[in-house]
């Protein structure tokens, strides 16, 4: 199974009424359980992925929204290409990738979405100015969730 197939499988599982799912293929195994908060990892086995993970103290999402430079009624959004957890910084305590008011070049990283323990850099598709950061640090996001509001340059 490739990463794209796994992501689609997780999205379908999360949207369904199925409580548990286990798939085995050669040396690959994936287990998903919506009722469990325990992750297991054994050789040649991918970790079980609970549908809802309780945030730990280290990854507790900030509750205060990021202030905007000014109230913008127009603008475009950079959205999440996948289901996962959005982070503003490359690591805890590091400076954020972007701040409100920053000018960003096409291809510049604006944040990361962690999906299945893989950190996926989210890049700007065009030159733009950051108007607002819509997703909080450590916030779970879905495909199409608004991450950052921008103005094309």
Note whether 86 and 142 are same-domain residues: yes
131, exposed or middle or buried, with CB in 10 Å at 0-12, 13-18, 19+? buried
Angstrom distance (rounded) from CA 36 to CA 111: 29
Supply the pLDDT for residue 100: 93
Which CATH number is 98's domain given?
Answer: 2.40.50.100
Question: At 32, is the secondary structure helix, strand, or coil?
Answer: strand
Look at the chain and report how many structural domains it folds into.
2
Q: Residue 143 is part of which domain span?
A: 68-152
59 within a domain of the structure (yes/no): no
Note whether 73 and 140 are same-domain residues: yes
Residues 6+ apart with CB under 8 A from 126: 106, 152, 153
Supply the pLDDT for residue 92: 86
Q: What is the pLDDT along the chain (153 residues), one digit of tens a residue?
A: 677 777 787 878 777 777 787 887 777 777 877 765 444 444 444 444 444 443 444 444 444 444 444 444 678 999 999 999 999 998 888 999 999 999 999 999 999 999 988 899 999 999 999 999 999 999 999 999 999 999 998
Supply the pLDDT for residue 36: 54
Note whether 50 and 83 are same-domain residues: no
Query: Token digits for 19?
Result: 């409580």
Supply the pLDDT for residue 51: 42
Supply the pLDDT for residue 129: 95
Note whether 72 and 26 are same-domain residues: no
133 within a domain of the structure (yes/no): yes
Supply the pLDDT for residue 3: 75
61 within a domain of the structure (yes/no): no
Supply the pLDDT for residue 23: 80
Supply the pLDDT for residue 123: 93
Please write down the HEC assignment for all residues of 70-115: CCCCCCEEEECCCCEEEECCCCCCCCCCCCCCCEECCCCEEEEEEE
Supply the pLDDT for residue 102: 92
């Amino acid at each position: 199974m490739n990463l794209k197939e796994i992501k689609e499988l997780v999205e379908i599982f999360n949207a369904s009424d199925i409580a548990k799912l286990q798939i085995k293929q050669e040396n690959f195994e994936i287990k998903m359980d919506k009722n469990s908060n325990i992750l297991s990892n054994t050789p040649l086995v991918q970790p079980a992925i609970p549908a809802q993970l309780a945030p730990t103290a280290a990854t507790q999402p900030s509750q205060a929204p990021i202030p905007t430079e000014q109230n913008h009624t127009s603008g475009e959004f950079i959205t999440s290409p996948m289901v996962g957890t959005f982070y503003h910084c490359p690591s805890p305590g590091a400076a954020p990738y972007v701040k409100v008011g920053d000018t960003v070049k096409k291809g510049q990283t604006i944040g990361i979405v962690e999906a299945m323990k893989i950190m996926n850099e989210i890049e700007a598709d065009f030159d733009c100015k950051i108007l607002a950061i819509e997703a909080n640090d450590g916030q779970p996001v879905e495909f199409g969730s608004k991450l950052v509001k921008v103005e094309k340059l």
